Amino acid sequence: MAMSKDPVKPSEALLKKTTDLMHDGMDARAFGEFEMPPALGDARWTDELILSTWHMAATGKVPDNLNYKTGLSNGGFDRLDFKMLNEDQWLEHSEDIDTSISLNRRGDERHNPTPPIPIYGGGMSYGSVSVNVMLARAKNAQKWNTFMSTGEGGYPEQLYECKEHVITQVATGYFGVEERSIQAAPIVEFKYAQGAKPGLGGHLLASKAGEEVAKMRGSVPFVSLFSPFPFHSTYSVEDHSKHIDWIQTVNPDALISVKVSTPHDVDMVAVGSYYAGAHIIHLDGGFGGTGAAPEIAKKNIAMPIELAIPKVHKFLIKEGIRDNVTLIASGGIRTADDIAKAIALGADGVVLGTSDLVAMGCTRCSNCEGGPSGRGCPWGLTTTDIELQEWIQQEWAVKRLDNYYTALQWRLREILRQLGLGDVKDLVGRTDLLKYVRGDA
């Protein structure tokens, strides 16, 4: 996928809009004056996409005058569009269009959550983000009757108030994995790999592993923490099956999600995961990750999510098991249009991570690891600095996320309405409703 590495410089008019939108949405944070970042976004997360996300988070509505659908990456989702019907064939109303999905299609005796939107929150660990960010995402998940994942840094005590909506992640470092957090979980997610850095595991800088984070991870403060790749106990489907047996012994009702990156044989991995007992196969493409993921790995290893989804979807059909498993995609899903395109390519739903951060004020400045101050995100998102994290106030942040999800659902329904579909499940795998948009390049 051709893509500029240089940030797209925003115009004067867009910078003015940035100021207005940031102040509109952030009154509760009593910002006062702040320094404008020298550039906003890149070809994938353009300045307009960031601004439109802030607009949606502030108002619950899509903007009239900003592109809230696609970026300028010259590839992937940005080169796909829908073959909408003529206006006289559109459905009359969109409010009744069903956007719910089922997360347990195995037909076993476990529960079958059906979030009203085909979206849940992806794992961002305690340590990579503050507990305030985690709690805001969990409360929004509760509001929407969907889920968010802890990521691999353990399960902070404050999250237990939303436990019915919190996915416990078990990753290769086993940081913070406890019987209690597995027993509390409606879904347990095994993270085998992360799309932004497949084959590399995780690394939390010493500066972010403060007292509380280290305590949660069973470490000592201010020591770098690595989670290895891969699970050193899992080298086969049989090993994976034993992993799942272990979780089922601790919590027999939890659904099992398996998060994998997108190597060329991801279709085989998906089928193996299903036969090992997974309810959800979660494909994570290379465009996700916070600014902490190494640039050398991001986008450069494994397959783009736009190719991995149809590859896995078709293979699951060929194996006769597509209807028995939920296929979830993440790693670069930015907009409601991306969500609909991922579903048309073959996913049942998506996981959002970066988009949640942008809705809470992320400027995509890539300073998540520390930035000039060494204290982490200046907006209080990817930091554990005790002062900076206070920028994320609960009521404000939950409202931003709730508004954003409201706007995403509205746009998703609008797409379905213009395609003549009354249920998002009817869009799954409908590549015939997509068209490739040629650009100048």
Q: Which helix (H) or strand (E) holds 226?
A: strand 225-227
Rounded Cα distance, 61 and 336, in Å:
12
Least distance to ligand SF4, CB of residue 55, Å = 17
- State whether residue 3 is helix, strand or coil: coil
User: In the complex, what is the shortest distance from the CB of residue 377 to ligand SF4, in angstroms, rounded to a whole number?
Assistant: 3
Query: Token digits for 25?
Result: 């949405």
249: phi then psi, degrees, rounded to nearest 5: -70, -40
| For ligand SF4, the closer CB: 127 or 291 | 291
Beta-bridge partner residues of 351: 120
Dihedral sign, Cα of residue 80, residue 99, residue 401, residue 84 = positive
Other beta carbons within 10 Å of 28:
12
Alpha helices in 258-359 (DSSP H): 266-276, 305-318, 336-345, 354-359
Structure tokens at 385: 């600095």
Q: Which residues bind ligand SF4 (CB under 6 A)?
A: 290-291, 357, 362-368, 377, 379, 381-382
Of 425, 433, 336, nearest in space to 115 by CA: 425
State the minimum distance, in angstroms, from the CB of residue 21 to ligand SF4. Answer: 15
3-state secondary structure of 322: helix
Q: At a CB cut-off of 8 Å and minimum separation 6, what does 61 contact?
A: 55, 407, 410
Pick the closer one to ligand SF4 by CB: 262 or 367: 367
